[in-house]
């Protein structure tokens, strides 16, 4: 089971650090990803990280502002979000994929409940 946390309300330009903790399953052999869904929009890929943490990939709109990382010893994945913009407002979800890192939600097998991020202008 995956559980995302760390969301909240922040002003534009602010920062949040999301966490995704796993229980009952080791994440160390999974590619991990973050996705988001804004109101009225489809689910969007945000970032992914390889099982060893040495490979990352971001959607262009967050590149340079967001950083995905993982601590396999703590069975946790993080998404550090800086310079937040109102268009980053969404419910953020973490997910685990058994294969290599991917930006396709179909490749992710396990999903956590989301955490709401709201960025005010």
Q: Give 90's pLDDT tier (boundaries 50, 70, 90).
A: very high
In tens, the pLDDT along 37-87 reads 999 999 999 999 999 888 999 999 999 999 999 999 999 999 999 999 999
**Is the pLDDT confidence value at 24 over 90?**
no
Kindly write down the DSSP assignment for every residue of 82-116, as one continuous string: -S--GGG-EEEEEEEESSS--S-GGG--EEPBPEE
Show Cβ contacts of residue 42 under 8 Å, excluding neighbours closer than 6 positions.
none
The strand pairing partners of 63, in sequence order, are none
């Amino acid at each position: 089971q995956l559980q995302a946390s760390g969301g909240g309300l922040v002003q534009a330009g602010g920062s949040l650090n999301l966490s995704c903790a796993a229980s009952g399953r080791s994440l160390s052999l999974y590619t991990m990803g973050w996705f988001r869904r804004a109101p009225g929009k489809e689910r969007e890929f945000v970032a992914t990280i390889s099982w060893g943490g040495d490979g990352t990939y971001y959607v262009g709109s967050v590149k340079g502002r967001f950083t995905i990382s993982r601590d396999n010893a703590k069975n946790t994945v993080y998404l550090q979000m800086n310079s937040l913009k109102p268009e980053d407002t969404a419910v953020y979800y973490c997910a685990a994929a058994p294969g290599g890192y991917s930006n396709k939600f179909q490749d992710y097998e396990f999903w956590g409940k989301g955490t709401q991020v709201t960025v005010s202008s």
